[in-house]
């Protein structure tokens, strides 16, 4: 994932699009599309691994987007997703509204929550921002587990049936999987498009040097607020998949554990890579489902994997790509300075926002 | 009898527990500019160990020491093995300690179970004292308030008056220059990390004597410590004292006024402080 498409001139030449990144994206996408056809027990694999990977990945991707392009680590992404899930439950079940307006309105509510959070948190930086988003997410958790008239407190809102839109019926698990895949891919391209847009370049400039961008006349906080709102919107898309996956919504959606799980997914997948989160989501979903077979302490195992990744693969599992490639190229040519500097660059980009720059 | 002085005192004693826990966090942040998200883990681990020792020896003081020591050693281990190499990378430190917290939560649930336990304290302390204007009040709460005040003053004087304190303050301002004057900053970092964690462990035992120890408290006390430190200003001991008193009092008053939303109101305090003063009440601008 280290080859950047922006280095190739964007002419009408189609070869410009054949980059390592796009090849990987296409391969992963094809694998995801044939996934329901090749697994032995679709009733188990599709909901427990497939759909779960997709919503965890989508929510974690919004976290990675903020970290990579804005330099802010938000721990409230799961909460935005949960707010959207609650919205769908409240509008469609409690209020009895039709499902499509409920979903659209809930996406708006989730994004609005992101905008509100930004108003409070955007003036702070790095570690402060992380702590404030963590605290705000817990405010919502405590409210959700107590506000009986809106969220039905700890029992939550259930059942929230999967809708039948007429042209697609989400009650069919394969259809639902493809629906979730469509939303995840859509989210991925929203972020990729945004990163390359003028707005995306501006926020990256703000990440690198807020003072300089401010001097150039950019309203730094307004750009950060917009980026956070966009990330909350994508997290809300993850919340749509989530609520129809579980068929209910309860406070455990937005608990500290759920928030941390999303962070684990993002870090294991690679905190600098938008697509890598789906690898993290897959690893996490597999751990959740299969680690229970040989140990009750699968959270300990998850924690150990998490720390191991942080200690040894700061770029996450996608960072393994360049490492493996370097191993092969070392066999081919003894000097590989270009390759290693590329890895270093990837590591620097992937490494979390570091005010002191590189240590060593 | 008026109920408000009682609520105020309850808030202050609750704030005392918060202060002991959050002073450790603010010390670590003040010197090292890193946040340990395993702080709640130290809290609960210390509390459980204090419970085990106090129940086995029938000695509350030994229980306090055990909690202090256990959490201190856990902090030392975490610092030396996991985060020493990444000390300059505050985000990575936060994430690694988060991993420690995830493991700690799971293992403590496995070892100590999901039921509530309470640290036993001596019979002769389980009495009420008559306070003017309030009436009978549990002695243990007053003792804990006194412990917190003495501890706070001690930390303040150590930081302000002793040689070690001046090294710590120098390290806060400029770690490389302090190192250049011959101070082994690595040792100072390790000591502060261990002391900060030990304070959380002590808070765990203290809290376990007042309220039951439960799984999940590691998360909630981490959050309360974070809120206290954000409100009070990071790295400031007086700030932690003001912050924890405020958080304790607001949460107790909120329990009376709007019990359903007590937790939300506590966080509303944080939001208000942040809106007016992003660096916290006693914090220096970043």
Range of lowest pLDDT (A11-15, A159-163, A346-350, B267-271): A346-350
Residue B186, chain A, CB below 8 Å: the answer is no
Range of lowest pLDDT (B97-106, B144-153, B165-174): B165-174
Residues of A in contact with B90 (CB under 8 A): 126-127, 354-355
| B267 to A73: CB separation less than 8 angstroms, yes or no | no
| B160–chain A nearest CA distance, Å | 26
Residues of A in contact with B105 (CB under 8 A): 299
Residue A55's pLDDT band (cuts 50, 70, 90): very high
Q: What is the mean pLDDT of residues B147-171?
A: 89
Judge residue B211's burial from the number of C-beta atoms within 10 Å of its C-beta, 0-12 exposed, 13-18 middle, 19 or more buried.
middle
Q: What is the mean pLDDT of chain A?
A: 82
Distance, in Å, from the CA atom of A307 to the CA atom of B100, rounded to the nearest integer, reads 8
ipTM field = 0.83
> Residues near A264 by Cβ (< 8 Å), separated by ≥ 6?
A280, A284, A302, A305, A306, B102
| Ordered alpha helix ranges (H), chain B | 4-32, 39-57, 60-77, 90-112, 139-161, 163-173, 175-180, 185-210, 217-232, 237-257, 262-276
Residue B264, chain A, CB below 8 Å: the answer is yes
| A252–chain B nearest CA distance, Å | 13
What tokens were used for A344? 């270093």
Residue B149's pLDDT band (cuts 50, 70, 90): very high
| Ordered alpha helix ranges (H), chain A | 20-38, 42-45, 52-65, 77-88, 99-121, 126-144, 148-151, 173-196, 198-208, 210-215, 220-246, 256-269, 276-294, 298-312, 320-332, 337-350
Report chain B's C-alpha Rg in angstroms: 19
Residue A341's pLDDT band (cuts 50, 70, 90): very low
Range of lowest pLDDT (A61-65, A223-227, B11-15, B168-172): B168-172
Q: What is the mean pLDDT of residues B208-230?
A: 87
- Which pLDDT belongs to residue B219? 84
**Other Cβ atoms within 10 Å of A219 Cβ, number:** 13
pLDDT single digits (tens) B233-256: 888 889 999 999 999 999 888 888
Range of lowest pLDDT (A8-22, A37-51, B148-162): A8-22
- Which pLDDT belongs to residue B126? 79
**Proportion of chain A above pLDDT 70, given as a percent:** 84
Q: What is the mean pLDDT of residues A303-309?
A: 87
Residue B87's pLDDT band (cuts 50, 70, 90): confident
Q: What is the mean pLDDT of residues B138-161?
A: 91
Range of lowest pLDDT (A65-79, A345-359, B129-143): A345-359
- Which pLDDT belongs to residue B207? 92
**Other Cβ atoms within 10 Å of B181 Cβ, number:** 10
For chain A, the residues whose C-beta falls within 8 A of a C-beta of chain B are 73, 120-121, 123-128, 130-132, 134-136, 138-139, 142-143, 146-147, 256, 260, 263-264, 267, 296-297, 299-300, 302-304, 306-307, 310-311, 314, 351-356, 359
Residue A14's pLDDT band (cuts 50, 70, 90): low
What tokens were used for A36? 């329901």
| A135 to B270: CB separation less than 8 angstroms, yes or no | yes
pLDDT over threshold 90, residue B46: yes
Residue B25's pLDDT band (cuts 50, 70, 90): very high
Which of A239-267 are b and which e, b meaning 16 or more Cβ less than 10 Å from the residue's Cβ? bbbbbbbbebbbbebbbbebbbbbbbbbb
- Which pLDDT belongs to residue A267? 87
Distance, in Å, from the CA atom of A349 to the CA atom of A315, rounded to the nearest integer, reads 9
- Which pLDDT belongs to residue B6? 87
- Which pLDDT belongs to residue A198? 93
Distance, in Å, from the CA atom of A214 to the CA atom of A207, rounded to the nearest integer, reads 11
Identify whether the C-beta of residue B36 lies closer than 8 Å to the C-beta of residue B154: no
Is A209 in a helix, a strand, or coil? coil
Q: Which residue from A minimizes the CA distance to B91?
A: A352
| Stated length of chain B | 286
Comparing A126 with A103, which gets the higher pLDDT?
A103
- Which pLDDT belongs to residue A335? 43
Highest mean pLDDT among A114-123, B44-53, B135-144, B208-217: B44-53
Distances, alpha carbon B106 to alpha carbons A67, A112, B49, B165, B218, in Å: 28, 34, 16, 36, 11
Q: What is the mean pLDDT of residues B53-78?
A: 93
Q: What is the mean pLDDT of residues A251-274?
A: 86
- Which pLDDT belongs to residue B285? 62
Counting one residue from A and one from B, how many pairs have CB atoms under 8 Å apart?
Answer: 119
Task: Bin A197: left if φ > 0, else alpha if -120 < ψ < 50, else beta.
Answer: beta
Q: What angle do CA A46, A47, A49 make, to 5 degrees?
A: 70
Range of lowest pLDDT (A96-110, A213-227, A290-304): A290-304
The full set of domain ranges for chain B reads 4-216
Q: What angle do CA B101, B107, B113 make, to 5 degrees?
A: 120
pLDDT over threshold 70, residue A129: yes
Residues of A in contact with B227 (CB under 8 A): 135
pLDDT over threshold 90, residue A121: no
Distance, in Å, from the CA atom of A272 to the CA atom of A351, rounded to the nearest integer, reads 7
Residues of A in contact with B100 (CB under 8 A): 303, 307
Question: Which of B223, B266, B284 is the best residue to mutate to test the A interface, defined by the most A CB atoms within 10 Å of its own CB?
Answer: B223
**Proportion of chain B above pLDDT 90, given as a percent:** 37
| B100 to A307: CB separation less than 8 angstroms, yes or no | yes
State residue A169 phi and psi, 5-degree precision: -115, 110
pLDDT single digits (tens) A141-200: 888 888 888 888 878 888 888 888 878 888 888 899 999 999 999 999 999 999 999 999
- Which pLDDT belongs to residue A359? 39
Q: What is the mean pLDDT of residues B97-108?
A: 91
pLDDT over threshold 80, residue B30: no
| B62–chain A nearest CA distance, Å | 30
Comparing B127 with B54, which gets the higher pLDDT?
B54
DSSP bridge partners of B129: B137
Residue B99, chain A, CB below 8 Å: the answer is yes
DSSP state of A157: B
Distance, in Å, from the CA atom of A283 to the CA atom of A49, rounded to the nearest integer, reads 9
Distance, in Å, from the CA atom of B50 to the CA atom of A247, rounded to the nearest integer, reads 43
């Amino acid at each position: 994932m280290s080859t950047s498409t922006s280095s190739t001139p964007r002419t009408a030449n189609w070869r410009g699009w054949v980059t390592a990144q796009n090849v990987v994206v296409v391969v992963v996408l094809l694998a995801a599309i044939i996934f329901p056809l090749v697994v032995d027990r679709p009733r188990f694999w599709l909901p427990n691994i497939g759909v779960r990977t997709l919503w965890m990945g989508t929510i974690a991707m919004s976290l990675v987007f903020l970290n990579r392009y804005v330099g802010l680590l938000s721990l409230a992404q799961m909460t935005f997703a949960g707010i959207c899930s609650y919205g769908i439950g409240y509008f469609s079940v409690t209020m009895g509204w039709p499902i499509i307006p409920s979903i659209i309105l809930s996406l708006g509510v989730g994004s609005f929550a992101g905008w509100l959070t930004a108003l409070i948190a955007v003036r702070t930086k790095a570690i402060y921002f992380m702590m404030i988003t963590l605290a705000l997410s817990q405010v919502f958790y405590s409210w959700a587990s107590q506000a009986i008239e809106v969220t039905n407190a700890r029992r939550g809102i259930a059942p929230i049936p999967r809708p039948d839109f007429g042209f697609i019926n989400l009650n069919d698990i394969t259809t639902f999987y493809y629906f979730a895949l469509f939303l995840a891919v859509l989210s991925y391209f929203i972020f990729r498009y945004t990163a390359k847009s003028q707005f995306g370049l501006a926020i990256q400039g703000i990440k690198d040097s807020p003072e300089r961008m401010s001097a150039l006349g950019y309203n730094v906080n307004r750009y950060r607020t917009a980026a956070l709102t966009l990330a909350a919107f994508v997290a809300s898309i993850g919340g749509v998949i989530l609520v129809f996956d579980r068929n209910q919504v309860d406070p455990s959606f937005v608990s500290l554990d759920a928030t941390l799980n999303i962070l684990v997914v993002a870090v294991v997948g690679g905190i600098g890579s938008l697509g890598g989160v789906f690898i993290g989501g897959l690893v996490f979903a597999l751990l959740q489902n299969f680690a229970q077979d040989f140990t009750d302490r699968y959270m300990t195992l998850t924690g150990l994997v998490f720390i191991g990744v942080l200690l040894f693969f700061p770029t996450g599992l996608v960072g393994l790509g360049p490492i493996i490639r370097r191993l092969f190229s070392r066999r081919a040519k003894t000097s590989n300075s270009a390759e290693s500097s590329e890895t270093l660059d990837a590591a620097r980009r992937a490494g979390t926002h570091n005010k002191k720059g590189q240590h060593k | 009898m008026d109920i408000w002085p009682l609520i105020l005192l309850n808030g202050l004693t609750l704030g005392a527990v918060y202060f002991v826990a959050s002073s450790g966090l603010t010390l670590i942040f003040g010197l090292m500019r890193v946040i340990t998200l395993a702080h709640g883990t130290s809290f609960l681990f210390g509390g459980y160990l204090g419970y085990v020792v106090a129940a086995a020896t029938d000695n509350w003081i030994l229980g306090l020491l055990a909690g202090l020591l256990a959490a201190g050693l856990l902090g030392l281990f975490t610092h030396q093995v996991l985060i020493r190499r990444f000390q300059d990378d505050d985000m990575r430190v936060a994430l690694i300690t988060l991993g420690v917290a995830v493991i700690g939560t799971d293992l403590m649930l496995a070892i100590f179970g999901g039921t509530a336990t309470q640290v036993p304290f001596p019979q002769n302390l389980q009495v009420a004292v008559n306070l003017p204007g309030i009436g009978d009040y549990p002695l243990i709460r007053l003792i804990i308030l006194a412990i917190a005040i003495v501890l706070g003053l001690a930390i303040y004087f150590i930081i302000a008056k002793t040689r070690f304190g001046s090294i710590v303050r120098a390290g806060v301002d400029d770690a490389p220059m302090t190192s250049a004057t011959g101070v082994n900053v690595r040792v100072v970092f390790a000591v502060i990390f261990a002391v900060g964690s030990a304070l959380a462990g002590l808070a765990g035992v203290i809290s376990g004597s007042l309220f039951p120890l439960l799984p999940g408290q590691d998360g909630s006390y981490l959050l309360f410590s974070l809120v206290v430190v954000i409100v009070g200003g990071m790295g400031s001991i007086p700030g932690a004292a003001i912050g924890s008193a405020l958080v304790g009092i607001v949460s107790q008053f909120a329990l009376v006024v709007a019990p359903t939303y007590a937790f939300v109101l506590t966080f509303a305090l944080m939001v208000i402080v942040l809106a007016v003063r992003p660096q916290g009440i006693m914090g220096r601008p970043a």
